[in-house]
A and B are shown apart, each in its own frame.
Chain A
Amino acid sequence: MSNTSENPNPSSSSAKITLKTSDNELFEVEEAVAMKFCTVKQYFEDEKDNDVAARGSSTVIPLPNVHSAVLARLISYCKKLPQSNAVADNHEEEETKKKERKQYGTPGDLVDLISAANYLDFKEGLEFFNQALADHIQNKSVEYVRKFFGIKGDFEPHEEEKYREEYAWAFEGVDED
């Protein structure tokens, strides 16, 4: 199966690059989109240098760390660039942006999106999804955050207690898990 990124203007002959995900799906994406992923860009440029005989668009770039479901989301996000990372001007706008950030998937999906964006060295995507994850955990309890990230608290109980007393204000008004 091949997922082709839609070209809104068929007459423009932009080059396509084929990406192969961990589950062996092929994605044919516009060069401009693929070049947002610095890891892909690097690979592409290295290939070009190694093989001047213009294998060109027939080159398939393997992405062994990225699943097709995640890549599809990243590509759809790419198309909304660049306005999505601009800082909101006011409270209302920020709320709209928060909702928009929520639309990309469940908090669990965000973890996959961040991992993939990090692997692909996709800066704008990382910023966006990191913010979405920060939105998700910002009103959560420490226990929730630990569970979410699969982290075991390693402070001595008395150390943690001392910190909680000192910064009691930071532990007020936390959402129910």
Chain B
Amino acid sequence: MNSVKDGFFPDEVIFQILARLPVKSLFRTKTVCKRWYRLSSDKYFIQLYNELSVKNPMVLVEVSEVSESKSSLICVDNLRGVSEISLDFLNDRVKIRASCNGLLCCSSIPDKGVYYVCNPMTREFRLLPKSRERPVTRFYPDGEASLVGLACNLWTQKFNVVLAGCICQWLIALVDG
């Protein structure tokens, strides 16, 4: 096997190679050395990675069996085929409420009012700060938001979550980690 001397490729070339790896490989490759770790965590790199991956959109399909309460998620990747993915890393039973730019907003089924924003590919997630206690109303007796929206501002790389119930509405801004 040929091997290249360390530092053979300039940063820009390393950026371009790593940006063409699938997420899983990228996260593995981060441990090759500190330089690669630093490069693959760079803001410029993340932007480059996102720009390239937009060319290969994926579709997430939720398959639920009528007889079973549990549903499974299937990821349809144009280039790499179909694979099953799981949100088990959240350690909670959740329902997907919204998606945007690869992130999902999920609500906990057992704990009303508990929301997560997660990246199912990297298995990273944030628990949203609990909104103020909502009065139980006769319209929404379980205190569940009826509308959940997730929006992304590509310019600022910030995500917004909007939850709307019958009378209350508020915004939570999250910085994409």
- CB within 8 Å of B: which residues of A? 87-91, 94, 106-108, 111, 114-115, 118, 126-127, 130-131, 133-134, 137-139, 141-142, 145-155, 160, 163-164, 167, 169-171, 174
Contacts and interface: CB of A to CB of B under 8 A. Distances in A.
B16 to A, nearest CB: 5
Interface in B1-17: 1-6, 8-10, 12-13, 16-17
B8 A150 contact: yes
Interface of B: 1-6, 8-10, 12-13, 16-18, 20-22, 24-25, 27-34, 36-37, 55-56, 77-81, 123
A163 B30 contact: yes
A164 B30 CA distance: 10
B2 A174 contact: no
Given A131-B20, A148-B3, A88 B30 contact: no
Dominant SS at the B interface? loop
Contact of B3 (A88, A90, A149): A149
A164 B8 CA distance: 26
B4 A137 contact: no
B66 to A, nearest CB: 30
B16 A130 contact: yes
Contact of A149 (B6, B12, B30): B6
Dominant SS at the A interface? helix
A150 B3 contact: yes
Nearest to B26: A170
B1 A147 contact: yes
A170 B37 CA distance: 14
Contact of A146 (B12, B32, B56): B32
A151 B2 contact: no
Contacts of A115: 8-9
Contact of B21 (A106, A134, A147): A134
Contacts of A139: 25
A145 B1 contact: no
A118 B4 contact: no
A153 B6 contact: no
Given A90-B78, A170-B27, A106 B16 contact: no
